C-alpha cells in the first residue's frame, strides 16, 4: 500500500470501518516482547524514550493529537528530502543502501557516541528488512534512535560536551539541517509516545484503540461509541496495522513505528524518483 495520505479526506477515512483490536494471548505477547528486547540496546532506548517523554511533556509537545501530527506530514516530508542528501553522501557506491562498512563510516563521520558493540546492535535493530543493509527508511530509523539516545552531537540541542567543554559545530549536512532534523524526529517520537503511554518499547492494538477512545471522550463524546471520529481513526485501519507490524509479532516496536512513519511522509516516493 502507498505510504502517504495523498488526497484522501476525513470523509474517506470515516467510510472505513474501524476493526476491533486483536488481543494477543499471554504466550504470544511474551514471545513478541522477548523478540523486541533481544538486543541490549533496546533497554537503553526505552530509558531514553522515558527521558524524552519528560522533555517533550515539559515542552507541551505530548498534548498534540495524532490528527495534528498528520497535518505536519508535508513539513516532515521536506526534511526527509534534506536527509536523502545525507544518505547519498554516505552511500559511496550509489546502490541506494548502506552496507555495514558504509554504516560504520557514516557513524564515524557523524561522531556517533556509541561503543562498537552498540553500533552493531543499532545496525541490527534498524535493519528491519533483515537484508544486512540499511535503506533510506532504515537510515531514518537509525538516526531517530541515535537522536533519542543523544548519540549524535550534531543533532543535540546542547552545544556542550559531556565534560562541560563547548562543542564546535562542524560544516556538514547533518549540522546544517540539525534543527530541522531534530524537530522532525521529535515529532516522530511524540507520535509514538501517544500510543506507548507506559513507554514499554512497543505498542499493541488495545493501546491504539484506547488513545482514540480517550480523544473522542475529550471532544465531548463517550468512550463507548458516541465519540466524534477524526481522520487519524480511519488512518489506523487493519491494513495500516499490518504495514506497521513489520515482523508480524502482533506488537509494534519503536523502530517499526519510525520505519512506517517515514513511509507516511513520502520516503518511498523519494526512492521511486531516484529509480526513474
pLDDT tens, position by position, 96-155: 999 999 999 999 999 999 999 999 999 999 999 999 999 999 999 999 999 999 999 888
DSSP summary character for residue 153: G
Closest CA relative to residue 21, chosen from 195, 194, 189, 190: 195
Angle made by CA atoms 123, 129, 134, in degrees to the nearest 5: 45
Residue 242's contacts (CB-CB under 8 Å, 6 or more residues apart) are: none
Query: Which pLDDT score is estimated for 271?
Result: 54
Average of per-residue pLDDT across 234-260: 89
Phi, psi angle pair for 152, to nearest 5°:
-115, 105
pLDDT at 19 over 70: no
In-domain check, residue 223? yes
Structural domains of the chain, count: 1
The backbone torsions φ and ψ at residue 253, rounded to the nearest 5 degrees and listed phi first, read -75, 165
What pLDDT is attached to residue 184? 93
Confidence of residue 226 (pLDDT cuts 50, 70, 90): very low
* Dist. CA 95–CA 160, nearest whole Å: 37
Structure confidence at residue 166 (pLDDT): 44
Q: pTM score, two decimals? A: 0.80
**Cα–Cα nearest to 25, from 238, 230, 204:** 204
Q: Three-state SS for 252?
A: strand
What lies within 8 Å, CB to CB, of 240 at 6+ separation is 1
Question: Does 82 fall in a domain?
Answer: yes
Alpha helices for the chain (secondary structure H): 10-14, 26-36, 41-58, 66-71, 73-90, 100-109, 116-126, 136-148, 173-176, 178-195, 205-218, 231-235, 238-244, 254-264, 267-275
Rounded Cα gap, residues 202 and 20, in angstroms: 19
How many residues would you count in the chain? Answer: 276
Q: Could you give the CA distance from residue 87 to residue 244 in angstroms, rounded to a whole number? A: 23
Task: Report the pLDDT value the prediction gives residue 266, as an integer from 0 to 100.
Answer: 87
Is the model more confident about 17 or about 94?
A: 94
- Interval 110-124: pLDDT, tens: 999 999 999 999 999
Answer yes or no: is 4 within a domain: no
What is the distance of C-alpha 255 from the center of its chain?
A: 6
CA angle, 205 then 141 then 274, to 5° = 115
Asked if residue 124 is part of any domain, the answer here is yes
Answer yes or no: is pLDDT of 183 > 80.
Answer: yes
DSSP-derived secondary structure letter, 52: H
User: Residue 276: inside a domain, yes or no?
Assistant: no
Nearest residue to 143 via CA among 123, 167, 169: 123
Q: Which three cell numbers stand for residue 61?
A: 509537545
Examine residue 231 and state whether it is found in any structural domain, yes or no: yes
- Does 170 score more than 70 pLDDT? no
pLDDT at 221 over 60: no
Nearest alpha-carbon partner for 267 in 139, 158, 125: 139
pLDDT category at 206 given cuts 50, 70, 90 is: confident
Range of the domain at 202: 10-269
Q: What is the DSSP letter of 39?
A: S
Q: Greater confidence, 162 or 41? A: 41
Domain assignment of residue 275, yes or no: no
Note the pLDDT of residue 252: 94
Angstrom CA distances, 227 to 13, 22, 197, stand at 15, 21, 21
pLDDT > 60? residue 163: no
In a domain, 274, yes or no: no
Amino acid at each position: 500500500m502507498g505510504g502517504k495520505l495523498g488526497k484522501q479526506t476525513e470523509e474517506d477515512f470515516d467510510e472505513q470501518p474501524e476493526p476491533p483490536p486483536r488481543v494477543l494471548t499471554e504466550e504470544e505477547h511474551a514471545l513478541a516482547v522477548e523478540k523486541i528486547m533481544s538486543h541490549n540496546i533496546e533497554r537503553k532506548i526505552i530509558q531514553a524514550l522515558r527521558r524524552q517523554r519528560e522533555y517533550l511533556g515539559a515542552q507541551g509537545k505530548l498534548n498534540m493529537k495524532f490528527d495534528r501530527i498528520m497535518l505536519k506530514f508535508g513539513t516532515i516530508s521536506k526534511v526527509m528530502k534534506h536527509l536523502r542528501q545525507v544518505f547519498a553522501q554516505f552511500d559511496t557506491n550509489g546502490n541506494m543502501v548502506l552496507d555495514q562498512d558504509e554504516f560504520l563510516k557514516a557513524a564515524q563521520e557523524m561522531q556517533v557516541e556509541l561503543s562498537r558493540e552498540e553500533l552493531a546492535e543499532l545496525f541490527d535493530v534498524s535493519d528491519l528488512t533483515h537484508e544486512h543493509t540499511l535503506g533510506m527508511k532504515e537510515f531514518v530509523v537509525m538516526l531517530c534512535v541515535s537522536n533519542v539516545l543523544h548519540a549524535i552531537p550534531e543533532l543535540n540541542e546542547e552545544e556542550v560536551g559531556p565534560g562541560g567543554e563547548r562543542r564546535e559545530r562542524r560544516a556538514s549536512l547533518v549540522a546544517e539541517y540539525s534543527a530541522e532534523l531534530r524537530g522532525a524526529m521529535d515529532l516522530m517520537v511524540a507520535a509514538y509516545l501517544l500510543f506507548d503511554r507506559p513507554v514499554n518499547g512497543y505498542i499493541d492494538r488495545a493501546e491504539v484503540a484506547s488513545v482514540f477512545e480517550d480523544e473522542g471522550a475529550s471532544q465531548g463524546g463517550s468512550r463507548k461509541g458516541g465519540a466524534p471520529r477524526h481522520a487519524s481513526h480511519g488512518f489506523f485501519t487493519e491494513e495500516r496495522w499490518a504495514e506497521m507490524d513489520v515482523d508480524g509479532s502482533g506488537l509494534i516496536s519503536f523502530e517499526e513505528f519510525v520505519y512506517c512513519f517515514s513511509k507516511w511522509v513520502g520516503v518511498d516516493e523519494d526512492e521511486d524518483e531516484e529509480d526513474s
